Every structure is written in C-alpha cells, then in structure tokens.
Amino acid sequence: MADAPERRFLFDGDARSARPGETLLGALGRGELPRLQRSIRYHRPRGPVCGVGYCTGCLVRVNGRPNVRACRYVPSDSDVVTTENSWPSPRFDVYGIFDYLFPGGIDTLHGFRRPAWATRLYHRVIRRLAGYGNAPDPATASRCPPPVRTASVEVAIIGAGTSGRAAAARLVRAGTRPLVLDRALAIDPVPGADLAAGTTVTFLPPPGPAGFTLLGFEEPDRGVEVHARRVIVATGSYDASLLFGGNDHPGVFTADGALAMRDAGGRPPFRRAVLVGGEGRTDTVLAQIPEYVDAVVAPGPIQPGLTRRASEEEIPLYPRTLLVCANGRSRVSSVDLRSRGGGTRFSLECDAVVLAHRRLPNSPLFFQAGARMEWRAGTGAYFPALNESLETTAPGVFAVGSAGGFGPAESARSGEHAAAAISGAATDPTPLPRVPADGPSELEGYYRELWREPRAGKWIACPCEDVLLTELEEASRRGYRGIEVIKRYSGLGTGLCQGRYCLPDALLVLSLLEQRPPPGVGYITQRPPVVPTPLAAFAALDATPEAR
C-alpha cells in the first residue's frame, strides 16, 4: 500500500492529499486539530469530538453535498471539500459576533416579538443563522437514484465487534449463514458469514408477520433493506459526554474521538490532555497514549489498576474532583477543577480534555423495536430486559455485548450464547453477568455539587442545537416537567446526534431540577432514523406493500 498513489483533493481552495483509505478528517488533521465547524446558533468554534460519526464537529461540504462527516468520508481524487456555516472561515467567522452579543443566549421563544414591523427582518436574520450547510447543489442530483442493496436472511447481526463476530462464528458452526452489518468502513471477514461494511442500520421497526425489515444505508447513499427472521443487536457502546463550562470548546474529545483521531493521524491532536475518568476505559486510553496525558481527573474514586499505571507514567491523579470548566476559546488551554466536598478550586494547563468517565450502550434500535427497557442507575442508562436466551421482549431481537449490558470479559460469550440459543444448540450454563441494575450513581452526586459552582460563559446542554443549560432551568422554573416536554421546549436532543450526547446528562440535570429520580424524568422517543439517512437511500427502496 505504501506505493499506492495519494488522493488529491481541494479543501477550501487549497490542494491537499490523503493516503489511500485515509479519512478526510485524518487527512485534514494529521495529528493537529482541524477547524471545520462553527456551532449552529452562536457560531462558537467547534472541533471534532466523537470521531465515530455522531457529533457535528467535522461536518463539511463535499462535491456540493452538505453535512458530510469528515471522519466517515474517504476522499477521492479531485474532490472539492469546503467548510460550512462560517464566513470567511471557521477560524475567523463574522457570525461569531452573535456569541459575544448574546452572552446569556438568544431567547427565540420569547424574544423578537416587537415591534411588529421588524418581524420580517427577525425572520431573515434568524433563518440565516439556522442550518449548517446550504442545500445540496443541483449537480448532485444526477447520482439519484443510487443502487440499493437488499437481502433476505435468517439472522442479521448488527455490529461486527467482539460480540457480533462471536455470534456470527457460532451461527456459521451451526450451519446458518448470517449477514453482519457494521458502520465501520472496513471490517475483517468472518468465514462463512456475509458482511456489509460501511452500512448503518438506522431503522429496526417491530416485527411483522414475516419477520423483521431493517432499513439503513451504505455510505454514502445506497439504500439498504434487509429482511430477517431474527436480529442480533451488537451495536456496542460509546463514550459519553459531560457537562461543564466550555464543554463544547475545540479540544474536548470523547475517548472514542481521541483514539480515532490518533489512529487516523498517527498521533492524537494534542500534547497535554486532561483525561477524565477513574475506571477501565480511562485505563485503556492511558495504556495507549500515556505520553499525551498530563493528568487524570475522576468524578469519583480511581481504580487501583489505573493508579498503578499512572504512577508508572508519573501522571498526577485527581480523584473525586469536579471538572468545573474548560478555558480558552478557539481551543482548550486550561481547566478549572475543584476537589469534591468543598476543596479549593485550582487550574491545570492543558490542550485537550479527553472524556473516558463512562460508556453508554448504543440502544436506539432496542427502543425502535419495542423492547422493554430497564434503567440501570449505576451506568445511568437504559438496557433491554433479557430472558435466558438474551432475547429482548421484542420477540426475535437479541442483545449481546456492551449494547446488551455485558462487560468486555463477557462480550464474546454473550454473542455465542445468543447464537447458540437461536440455533437451538445447548448454551453454556455459566452465568453471564450484566452491568449491575442498581449501584451508586456517582454522577448524580457529582452534578449536585457542580450545581453550586459559580458559572461563567455559556454552558452548552445540547451542542448540536446550541441549547444552553440556562434554557433547561428556565423551562423547569416555568413548570415544564419531563424530558419529552423539555425537549420540545428547548430543542435539546433534536439535532444531528438525536440526543446521543446530550440526553444522558440532561436526564441527570432534570432529575436534580425536578427532584425525582432520572427514570421519572422519562426518555426521548428514539425516532428513526438513528443517524441521518439520505433521502435518496430511502427513495430507492421498494415501497410496494409486498415489500413492507
């Protein structure tokens, strides 16, 4: 591959190149932090956060197509890539003036009502601020409709991670040829199984008489429809975000994002990160990029194994510490911390914050399929209720791996277990422990303490839609209760990530404001599609009643 030619493309008019297979984000980063975006309402500087195709930090326009995620796009020769939602550039954006002009936020619910004659002007300005990119260029239309991929299989496995692969291998042994679908642009083969890489299942409705219909797309816009008798959901988990002042500044990453950008660029786009978390995921990050971590800050206690590793690397530890805010503007330059229980507030210089404090299941498909979900307070997330075959209450939908609440040690075995149950084979009687249903919720107490901190600047409760924490508080003060109403009141969770990043913390915040446990606050209906799916992909699929 070393001799393969580089792909040459234009980025905002400059000639750039990408190695074969390298993503656009990797090619634009190469160990630095690329500036690609401004936020939707206040035009705050934003950088890539999640690295796995959910956040809005790396949206660019490619060949006239808006909102392409640079982390999921492999450039071709003569691609034309431009930045969106900023003028003249993401580094200096004139519209950023709105962030300064409205330090307390723009109140579009109550503001801009007077005088009546200014209505049209208000509409023009506010409409102009909304949206990321322009409508697709007319020239992009010629590629429609794209081809489709359809399949009819006995078992579809969504996710080609450890548990999904284990399930696939076990099914193959039992004589079934499963179809494994995964978002990853490239996946290693599973002998005897069919694979669909770069394919995202975005809609898993409850089964009909003939079984399941899965809808999705293959990058960039090929429609995918799979009919399956049974579905194993092995969608894994992701690193959660955290609320603090300046939590949306460039340089704040999830652990997923930091590692993905390290993989893409050869080294991470930072030198001196503050790593947040005190458990296994933090240990994983520390094991992989210790020389780029300056300190470990944990909301709760720090596990002994992590302590040992950190001391070997001479990295200072701050257990039971509040991350109050990240400072800097165009990039994180320091963080303010305070020891929990009323310690003194202090600062650490850094050029990144890496969030590895909790992992959450990728669960929207379970909700869509109609499976009964159970709140597990220790994780602060919903997991599907499962029977001994690891089948959810939606008959035919099985949950394995971390999406099903199984830890790394049980991941492969959970996949084999579900596959064996589907095959009618004997299953391993050894119990499969899941994440505990109860347990201390470190973050609930953490946020209670963080609430007492004086706040400066905007705290962004929902980065996709630039919803401020103060807007949630205002809604609550006015008597609106429950996440479904707060979502409609504030717009929280209605952006491109559909609540994946903001919802888990919003539940805890509302639990404090409404003085009831998080399940009492409710949950946002997980609407299809899970991630934005091109109209062309759905349009190309057969809509005749037989194909339903």
Q: Binding segment for another protein among 19-27, 112-120, 154-162, 385-393 (CB under 8 A)? A: 112-120
Query: Quick check: 534 binds another protein (CB under 8 A)?
Result: yes
Q: Binding segment for another protein among 261-269, 278-286, 420-428, 493-501 (CB under 8 A)? A: 493-501
Query: Quick check: 150 binds another protein (CB under 8 A)?
Result: no
Exposure b/e, 230-251, CB count within 10 A at least 16 = b: bbbbbbbbbbbbbbbbbbbbbb
User: What's the rounded Cα separation, in Å, for the pair 464 and 473?
Assistant: 19
Task: By CB under 8 A, name the one of 140, 284, 307, 393 that touches another protein.
Answer: 140
- On whether the CB atoms of residues 51 and 261 are closer than 8 A, the answer is yes
Specify the residue, 240 or 464, whose C-beta has the smaller distance to another protein. Answer: 464
Specify the residue, 40 or 155, whose C-beta has the smaller distance to another protein. Answer: 40
In DSSP terms, 315 is beta-bridged to none
Cα distances from 104 to residues 98, 210, 229, 506, in angstroms, run 11, 54, 52, 19
The per-residue DSSP string of 176-206 comes to ---EEE-SSS-----TTSEEETTEEEEE-PP
Specify the residue, 448 or 516, whose C-beta has the smaller distance to another protein. Answer: 516
Query: Quick check: 519 binds another protein (CB under 8 A)?
Result: no
Backbone angles phi, psi at 126, to 5 degrees: -65, -40
CA 419 from chain centre, in angstroms, equals 28
In DSSP terms, 409 is beta-bridged to none
Task: By CB under 8 A, name the one of 265, 491, 504, 518 that touches another protein.
Answer: 491
Query: Quick check: 516 binds another protein (CB under 8 A)?
Result: no
Residue 400 CB, shortest distance to another protein, in Å, is 24
Task: By CB under 8 A, name the one of 301, 319, 482, 520 that touches another protein.
Answer: 482
Q: Binding segment for another protein among 121-129, 233-241, 259-267, 279-287 (CB under 8 A)? A: 121-129
Query: Quick check: 121 binds another protein (CB under 8 A)?
Result: no
Nearest CA to 29 out of 220, 263, 226, 314 is that of 263
Specify the residue, 416 or 471, whose C-beta has the smaller distance to another protein. Answer: 471
The per-residue DSSP string of 442-505 comes to HHHHHHHHHTTS---S--EEETTTTEEHHHHHHHHHTT--SHHHHHHHH-TT-STTTTTTTHHH
Q: Binding segment for another protein among 17-25, 43-51, 87-95, 478-486 (CB under 8 A)? A: 478-486
The per-residue DSSP string of 57-105 comes to TTEEEETTEEEEEGGG----TT-EEEE-S-SB-SSSBGGGHHHHH-TT-
Task: By CB under 8 A, name the one of 91, 123, 308, 345 that touches another protein.
Answer: 123
- On whether the CB atoms of residues 56 and 40 are closer than 8 A, the answer is yes
Query: Quick check: 104 binds another protein (CB under 8 A)?
Result: no
Residue type, 463: P
Query: Quick check: 301 binds another protein (CB under 8 A)?
Result: no
Task: By CB under 8 A, name the one of 117, 127, 341, 431 that touches another protein.
Answer: 127
Specify the residue, 201 or 325, whose C-beta has the smaller distance to another protein. Answer: 201
Query: Quick check: 133 binds another protein (CB under 8 A)?
Result: yes
Task: By CB under 8 A, name the one of 99, 221, 442, 466 that touches another protein.
Answer: 221
Query: Quick check: 452 binds another protein (CB under 8 A)?
Result: no
Cα distances from 392 to residues 233, 239, 372, 513, in angstroms, run 10, 24, 7, 33
Specify the residue, 32 or 137, whose C-beta has the smaller distance to another protein. Answer: 137
| Beta strand residue intervals within 293-410, DSSP E | 293-297, 317-318, 321-327, 334-339, 345-349, 352-355, 359-361, 373-376, 381-384, 397-399
Tokens of 427: 């299953």
Residue 527 is given by DSSP the state P
Specify the residue, 31 or 205, whose C-beta has the smaller distance to another protein. Answer: 205
Half-sphere exposure of 43 (CA within 13 A, CB side): 24
Task: By CB under 8 A, name the one of 53, 90, 96, 136 that touches another protein.
Answer: 136
Q: Binding segment for another protein among 184-192, 200-208, 355-363, 425-433 (CB under 8 A)? A: 200-208
Q: Could you count the other beta carbons within 10 Å of the beta carbon of residue 182? A: 24
Nearest CA to 489 out of 461, 516, 515, 511 is that of 461
Exposure b/e, 497-523, CB count within 10 A at least 16 = b: bbbbbbbbbbbbbbbbbbeeebeebbb
Task: By CB under 8 A, name the one of 37, 162, 200, 498 that touches another protein.
Answer: 498
Quickly list H helices, 362-405.
364-369
Specify the residue, 163 or 533, whose C-beta has the smaller distance to another protein. Answer: 533
Residue 26 CB, shortest distance to another protein, in Å, is 22
Specify the residue, 118 or 425, whose C-beta has the smaller distance to another protein. Answer: 118
Specify the residue, 123 or 372, whose C-beta has the smaller distance to another protein. Answer: 123
Residue 67 CB, shortest distance to another protein, in Å, is 5
In DSSP terms, 318 is beta-bridged to 297
Q: Binding segment for another protein among 159-167, 219-227, 334-342, 389-397 (CB under 8 A)? A: 219-227
Count the site residues for another protein by CB under 8 A: 68
String of contacts with another protein for each residue 31-70, x by CB under 8 A: ---------x------------------------xxx---
Specify the residue, 369 or 421, whose C-beta has the smaller distance to another protein. Answer: 369
| Three-class secondary structure of residue 28 per DSSP | helix
Nearest CA to 109 out of 365, 451, 488 is that of 488
Task: By CB under 8 A, name the one of 484, 513, 520, 523 that touches another protein.
Answer: 484
- On whether the CB atoms of residues 224 and 304 are closer than 8 A, the answer is no
Q: Binding segment for another protein among 134-142, 165-173, 263-271, 424-432 (CB under 8 A)? A: 134-142
- Residues in contact with another protein by CB under 8 A are 40, 65-67, 108-114, 116, 123, 126-128, 130-138, 140-141, 143-145, 203, 205-206, 213, 215, 220-221, 225, 478, 480, 482, 484-485, 488-489, 491, 494, 496, 498, 525, 527-529, 531-543, 545, 548
